[in-house]
Structure 1
Amino acid sequence: MQLTQGLHRSLRQNPDRTAVSFKGRRRTFREFGDRVARLASALVELGLTEGERVGMLALNSDRYLEYAMGVWWGGGVLNPVNIRWSAAEIAYSLNDCDTRILIVDDQHLETARDVCRLVRTVPILVHAGDGAAPDGMLSFDALIAAAAPMEDIGRSGADLACIMYTGGTTGVPKGVMQTHLNMWSSCIMRIAESAPLAGTAVLHAAPFFHVAALGRALVQFVAGEAHVIIPAFDAREVLKAIDQEHVSETLLVPTMIQAVLNHPDFAQADLSRLRRLTYGASPIPEPLLNRVIECLPGVELAHSYGMTEACPSISVNPPANHDDAARKSGLYRSIGRGLPGLLVKVVDVHGQEVPRGTVGELVVRGPNVMAGYWNKPEETAQALRRGWLHTGDGAYMDDRGYLYIVDRLKDMIVSGGENVYSAEVENVIALHGAVAACAVIGVPHDMWGEAVHAVIVCKPGETTSEEEIRRHCRAFIAGYKCPRTIEFRERLPLSGAGKILKRELRAAYWAGRARAVN
């Protein structure tokens, strides 16, 4: 139950095997482990003590995995920064958990400078790039080169390992506290259900600041297998990496899969070594599933369902449920069954389990469930009740234990694999001087699954435009949270108690669909 254990095991069993490949740079487990031990030593010299947070604002790279292992080796806690956030959102997360060291790559230098103007305490900045470190920043590689390797501090079990920020139901991000036990258990459960392919490499294309990508990397470390990394998702780079790096497995969201299949280079790429494709974050549309099966014959397909609070794994719908019979029966629409080591059930508003086939809230209990939200006891108590994590997803379970998501009980939108909480967007829109009231909902979108849609009532005598509202939002929140579509109304539908009736707003967009998620 120690997140560096997989690396230690590989250092003893396969030290000269390739551990990571990034832009033509390859490191063996011996080389990687040496850099990790030296980075940990350098961070301790900079003042890192056990349990303190270290952030990283960067695209994917081999240095990102060195950061994760190095911080744990030195006894620290990760704060993987969402690179799609605004400077204000990032500053909030650094302030919230008192992050004193921030590692930054070349692509995010300007953002880091903006963040430093907003934080209470300016962190020590470490430059993780290939060139010279900018003024006022230390060099990641120079720190490693100058440091002597240190022994692993050995934090494990209930010790905090990571604070991963998600959108907030009350309008501000929440820091999900993930312990070594939480993250380790999630890895072991995934391996018990579907072990990484032996002697092969996984391609990391999804961002490491997301729990799904970081969790998949940890699975690979526990299994002692190799990593191939690209900086960010790009369909051409995915095809190139699978072709040239002999990738056998990868994790993509459905929008990424569609982009890969649509890319002009798809027909020419050699994808013969690809044997497994896992998708997550949202269901896969049946036409896209059929295209994948047609274009990638022999590739196993699996759907992974989870959430940050479960670190992240809850269930997997395996390859066997993506064949012709499963598509005809609708079994492919399931999120699968609970993983080994987990208890899952569907409950009513009183927490009582409902009969099979009845819709209720999906709840989860197991060693992978988070320790709680950082400095948010009320929201922690709301999410963790009587030992069960309440997912906020409306679901039902069939007689064989397969789970089906049909709605979201929490006010959340999933757009392109990113979670967007309506309250967060509504709070920002409400700051605009022309806005009297607003409501934000998710509506179906062919490319992104769901799109953020805002319904706005203006103050008497005031007017504004869609573009002005979007420009206003971009100053406060990440671009993916900003409304894609906006409508202006004279009034919003209200209940007798004065609460906005969002189901009425959603009804026109979701009419005729079997489920209210896309």
Structure 2
Amino acid sequence: MYLTQTVHQAVQQTPATPMTVHGDRVRTAAESADRVARLAGAFRSLGVNPGDRIGALAMNSDRYHEYLLATPWAGAVVLPLNVRWSPAEIVHALRESATGVLLVDDTFAPLVPSLRAELDDLATVIFCGDGDPPQGMIGYERLIEDGMPAEDARRGGDDLFGIFYTGGTTGHPKGVMLTHRNLAASALGSLATGQFLTPRGRLLHAAPMFHLADIAAWTAGMIVGSTHVIIPAFTPAGALEAIQRHRVTDTLWVPTMIQLAIDHPDVLSYDLSSVEHLVYGASPISEAVLERARVVFSRAGFVQAYGMTELSPIATLLLPADHDDPALRRAAGRAAPHSEVRVVDAHGAEVPRGTVGEIVVRGDHVTPGYWRREEETAAALRGGWMHTGDGGYMDERGYVFVVDRIKDMIVSGGENVYSAEVENALAKHPAVAACAVIGVPDERWGERVHAVVVLRPGLAATEEELREFCRDRIAAYKLPRSVAFAGELPLSGAGKILKRELRRRYWSGGARQVS
């Protein structure tokens, strides 16, 4: 399968149906297809050859949608860049990938001079924002206006669709290569459940479009003929307003976004009854937040997707009916139709059900490897299985429970403590808005369990109060031995808590600089 196939089908079957909605700008399938073909033609006129990388550093927009289609249409490879990266991280990705063409919008145009000073290969910068392009950049709309429509290269199968640099939560970003087959397998397998997206529905893009979680939803949406409702970035009011205004049926959020939305003081004044599927993932969700969210989005089926960029990105799914079983609310679901999942020991042997080990995955959705990193590719893809680095167990029915990142496991006094379990207990306290648990050095215990807590506005709690609250919920050795209060937690562009940033002050100069 080639992903641009979905455009040809939309033009053939529903040419007048809106394909994108961005603000007051609505484009039909026919209009979008013409613009994609013209942009692809412009890319070729700029010297883009098959397999070349085209980068994008921009907020969500209908033009980002067109970029994701026009790049493979031209035979090239997408390189979406994290909008929360530092200039040094952006330079690293562009340099390592030898990207020669970059799209930027109004937000990131000021960075271009400094990027060009560092990058000899960056020959062309296209301004995809509104208004006139800054000096030295080519205007996106002018390219489309002047461009001759190109024939679709119809790259597919094992051709590279994109290079997706990991979000930086684990240290130096690596470029994950994903093919058309990878993304199609993940999307088709998820859709095969019948409970992932609404056919010909309205899909809200509020999560960042550079991130593979949203691109996975976008891919599935293209397959089922969704109208893509796009907002520049998530804000609680903006997302809730978009759902109400456009009668959104489907959306993919991370738990941080869900919590911010349900905490919005006016959330109950919005009509959210159109939402049929709310897919969430990328980080754990507390049971307290999940319960409140199910009340707010009362007609939505909640679907948890567990996976990682290297898995395009879905490995398991926890479907709406599973959420009705209290015993499964901490599960990550069962293997999706396209995915094979096991839990193994350090030697790669499958462990008994209920035993914690490393979660490994195989299938057509698994990355062929990391861009120009053969050793790291070989280490991750041992024996044909993608080693996720996540610790978890599988029950007798095949449900996977993720207990923590293996490297995030806290070893305190010889006992293994999984931070997610402690975080779930803390999150149930009514004064806790958000929390993160890490291991910090301790002379007596080796490591101690340390919690960083953000309190809800107007509410208070002490360290001892939180510890006592958790005592009835988790074993004594898992209790936070120290608590720090913060105004906010550091987040990646995908909404993941950057535990590396929290650890840095405690492990400076030490060996455990992980996230």
Range class of TM-score, shorter chain? 0.7 to 0.9
| Residue 471 of structure 2: aligned partner | none
CA 1:122–1:455 in 2, change beyond 3 Å: closer, same or farther?
Answer: farther
Mapped contact 2:438–2:503 kept (Cα < 8 A): yes
| Residue 351 of structure 1: aligned partner | 348
Q: Which runs of 5+ in 2 are unaligned?
A: 411-418, 444-491
| Residue 471 of structure 1: aligned partner | none
| Residue 466 of structure 2: aligned partner | none
The one-character-per-residue Cα deviations of 1:346-371 (angstroms, maximum 9, x if unpaired) are: 11111111111111111111001001
| Residue 312 of structure 2: aligned partner | 311
Q: Which letter maps to 1:450?
A: A
The one-character-per-residue Cα deviations of 1:361-403 (angstroms, maximum 9, x if unpaired) are: 1111100100100010000000001111001111111111000
Distance between the aligned counterparts of 1:43 and 1:201, measured in 2?
Answer: 30
Distance between the aligned counterparts of 2:235 and 2:509, measured in 1?
Answer: 42
CA 1:91–1:487 in 2, change beyond 3 Å: closer, same or farther?
Answer: closer
Distance between the aligned counterparts of 1:406 and 1:310, measured in 2?
Answer: 19
CA 1:411–1:261 in 2, change beyond 3 Å: closer, same or farther?
Answer: closer
| Residue 128 of structure 1: aligned partner | 128
Distance between the aligned counterparts of 1:311 and 1:490, measured in 2?
Answer: 34
| Residue 52 of structure 1: aligned partner | 52
Match runs of 1:204-219 below 5 Å: 204-219=205-220
| Residue 239 of structure 1: aligned partner | 240
| Residue 436 of structure 2: aligned partner | 450
| Residue 229 of structure 1: aligned partner | 230
Match runs of 1:134-213 below 5 Å: 134-167=134-167, 171-193=171-193, 194-213=195-214
Number of residue equivalences: 448
Mapped contact 1:456–1:488 kept (Cα < 8 A): no
Distance between the aligned counterparts of 1:341 and 1:269, measured in 2?
Answer: 37
Mapped contact 2:331–2:402 kept (Cα < 8 A): yes
Distance between the aligned counterparts of 1:303 and 1:127, measured in 2?
Answer: 36
Displacement of 1:46 in angstroms is 0.4
Displacement of 1:123 in angstroms is 3.2
Determine which of 336, 350, 375 is the counterpart of 1:378.
Answer: 375
Displacement of 1:113 in angstroms is 2.6
3-state SS of the aligned residue for 2:391? strand
The one-character-per-residue Cα deviations of 1:136-174 (angstroms, maximum 9, x if unpaired) are: 000011000101111101111111110000156984211
3-state SS of the aligned residue for 2:118? coil
Q: Percent identity at matched positions?
A: 43
Q: Which letter maps to 1:303?
A: Q
Displacement of 1:218 in angstroms is 0.8
Q: Which letter maps to 2:330?
A: R
Mapped contact 1:304–1:313 kept (Cα < 8 A): yes
Q: Which letter maps to 1:150?
A: A
Determine which of 400, 403, 406 is the counterpart of 1:406.
Answer: 403
Displacement of 1:481 in angstroms is 7.3
| Residue 274 of structure 1: aligned partner | 275
Mapped contact 1:126–1:140 kept (Cα < 8 A): yes
Displacement of 1:253 in angstroms is 1.1
CA 1:400–1:453 in 2, change beyond 3 Å: closer, same or farther?
Answer: closer
Q: Which letter maps to 1:483?
A: E
CA 1:488–1:206 in 2, change beyond 3 Å: closer, same or farther?
Answer: closer
Q: Which letter maps to 1:165?
A: Y
Q: Which letter maps to 2:33?
A: G
The one-character-per-residue Cα deviations of 1:106-148 (angstroms, maximum 9, x if unpaired) are: 0111223322222232331000011001100000110001011
Mapped contact 2:343–2:357 kept (Cα < 8 A): yes
| Residue 292 of structure 2: aligned partner | 291
Mapped contact 2:189–2:338 kept (Cα < 8 A): yes
Mapped contact 1:78–1:163 kept (Cα < 8 A): yes
| Residue 413 of structure 2: aligned partner | none
Mapped contact 1:157–1:181 kept (Cα < 8 A): yes
Match runs of 1:309-348 below 5 Å: 309-323=310-324, 326-327=325-326, 330-348=327-345
Distance between the aligned counterparts of 1:149 and 1:287, measured in 2?
Answer: 52
CA 1:297–1:382 in 2, change beyond 3 Å: closer, same or farther?
Answer: same
| Residue 109 of structure 1: aligned partner | 109
Runs of 4+ in 1 over 4 A off after TM superposition: 167-171, 441-449, 451-457, 478-482, 484-492, 500-503
**Are residues 1:41 and 2:41 paired?**
yes
Distance between the aligned counterparts of 1:412 and 1:37, measured in 2?
Answer: 49
TM-score after normalising by structure 1: 0.81
Q: Which letter maps to 1:177?
A: M
CA 1:502–1:167 in 2, change beyond 3 Å: closer, same or farther?
Answer: closer
Determine which of 501, 505, 511 is the counterpart of 1:483.
Answer: 501
CA 1:486–1:308 in 2, change beyond 3 Å: closer, same or farther?
Answer: closer
CA 1:96–1:455 in 2, change beyond 3 Å: closer, same or farther?
Answer: farther
The one-character-per-residue Cα deviations of 1:410-466 (angstroms, maximum 9, x if unpaired) are: 4599xxxxxxxxxxxxxxxxxxxxxxxxxxx99958555537788799xxxxxxxxx
Distance between the aligned counterparts of 2:170 and 2:283, measured in 1?
Answer: 23
Determine which of 347, 358, 375 is the counterpart of 1:361.
Answer: 358
CA 1:169–1:65 in 2, change beyond 3 Å: closer, same or farther?
Answer: closer
Displacement of 1:65 in angstroms is 0.6
3-state SS of the aligned residue for 1:177? strand
The one-character-per-residue Cα deviations of 1:167-187 (angstroms, maximum 9, x if unpaired) are: 569842110000111111111
The one-character-per-residue Cα deviations of 1:320-349 (angstroms, maximum 9, x if unpaired) are: 0112xx12xx21111000011221111111
CA 1:483–1:50 in 2, change beyond 3 Å: closer, same or farther?
Answer: same
Q: Which runs of 5+ in 1 are unaligned?
A: 414-440, 458-473, 493-499, 504-516
Displacement of 1:311 in angstroms is 0.7
Distance between the aligned counterparts of 2:141 and 2:438, measured in 1?
Answer: 41
Distance between the aligned counterparts of 1:223 and 1:37, measured in 2?
Answer: 21
3-state SS of the aligned residue for 2:26? strand
3-state SS of the aligned residue for 1:154? coil
| Residue 387 of structure 1: aligned partner | 384
Mapped contact 2:103–2:125 kept (Cα < 8 A): yes
TM-score after normalising by structure 2: 0.82
Distance between the aligned counterparts of 2:224 and 2:97, measured in 1?
Answer: 31
3-state SS of the aligned residue for 1:95? helix
| Residue 22 of structure 1: aligned partner | 22
Mapped contact 2:198–2:224 kept (Cα < 8 A): no
CA 1:491–1:27 in 2, change beyond 3 Å: closer, same or farther?
Answer: closer
Aligned-CA RMSD value: 2.8
Q: Which letter maps to 2:350?
A: E
Displacement of 1:259 in angstroms is 0.9
Distance between the aligned counterparts of 1:489 and 1:103, measured in 2?
Answer: 38
Q: Which letter maps to 2:311?
A: A
Q: Which letter maps to 1:340?
A: P
Mapped contact 2:169–2:500 kept (Cα < 8 A): no
CA 1:490–1:309 in 2, change beyond 3 Å: closer, same or farther?
Answer: closer
Mapped contact 2:196–2:279 kept (Cα < 8 A): no
CA 1:485–1:404 in 2, change beyond 3 Å: closer, same or farther?
Answer: closer
The one-character-per-residue Cα deviations of 1:271-312 (angstroms, maximum 9, x if unpaired) are: 121222111112221111121122232221111111000010
